[in-house]
Amino acid sequence: MDPFEELLRGVRADGGDLRRSEVIGTVECDRLAVYALVSGWVEVAGETARAGDVLVARGPFTLTGRAEVVTGTYDLTGAVASRLAAVLPEVLVSRGTEGCAEFYGTLDEESGVVADRLLDWIMVCGLRTWFDSEHRTGWFGALADDVAGPALRAMHADPARPWTLALLAREAKVSRTTLAGRFAKLVGTPPLTYLTEWRMALAADLLTDSTATVAAVAKRVGYADAFGFSAAFKRVHRVSPSEYRAGARVLSGDRQHARELVVH
């Protein structure tokens, strides 16, 4: 899988409230927000976006300016989706190309699924341009490294494999000591710690988005039995897999109710 596609896996707007509006003066927001500028300018945390640019900011933040914008918000609550927030700065500006501002200006206000998919398109295009401009940080940036990259890609491609430091070092064609030091320096955690966190992120999303049993989820992320998996899951997420699934369903129901209230 392309690293960028992997980064965005599971990130989808759901009631993102895409709308065309004006920014005059100061605006405050406490969620991840996307602004595609039709005209004018906006500034936040020392970054300035102008017509044709896309600004992505993680809340809470205060934005000032005078512009016409197409905007929407994201709630990155999924465990895998939250990995996107982990590699984004507080604010980024993705520079537009010729014709971007005019295109944004053609987007009429939509609602429901259509609005969410338009917001996804703006978000993905903006992030792709920004990351392609060599803005690579954290584990995503480490994917390009000759040592950490092969180990990361191996874990992502087959998280259920019983990886050891020796096996990962073999993938990277370096010694275990070299891999451990380089990986920790670039990613911020040792390889096997990262593997556990990645497995638990995948497991959390499987518990949220599927009807698979806890035992089935455990096998999909590399655990032979549900007991060992549950203990690891609770260490990372502070709740058991069953409790996590129940909480996710309640949250999903609350969001659906909120959307129904807005529609009616």
What torsion, rounded to 10 degrees, do the Cα atoms 103, 108, 109, 115 define? -60
State which fold the 3-132 domain adopts: Jelly Rolls (2.60.120)
pLDDT at 257: 42
Give the 3-state secondary structure of 86-102: HHCCCEEEECCCCCHHH
Report how far apart, in Å, the C-alpha atoms of 100 and of each of 26, 38, 106, 107, 211 are. Answer: 24, 8, 10, 11, 41
Q: Where are the domains of the chain?
A: 3-132, 141-246
d(C-alpha 259, C-alpha 116), whole Å: 13
**For the chain, which ranges sit under pLDDT 50?**
254, 257-264
DSSP 10: T
Residue carrying structure tokens 């000759």: 146
Task: Tell me the CATH number of domain 141-246, given options 1.10.3720.10, 2.60.40.10, 3.40.50.970, 1.10.10.60.
Answer: 1.10.10.60
pLDDT at 258: 43
Name the pTM for this structure: 0.70
Query: Who contacts 56 (Cβ-Cβ below 8 Å, separation ≥6)?
Result: 32, 33, 34, 35, 88, 91, 92, 94, 123, 126, 127, 130
Which percentage of the chain shows pLDDT scores above 90? Answer: 46
d(C-alpha 61, C-alpha 44), whole Å: 7
> Residue 106 corresponds to which tokens in the numbers above?
């053609």
pLDDT at 262: 40
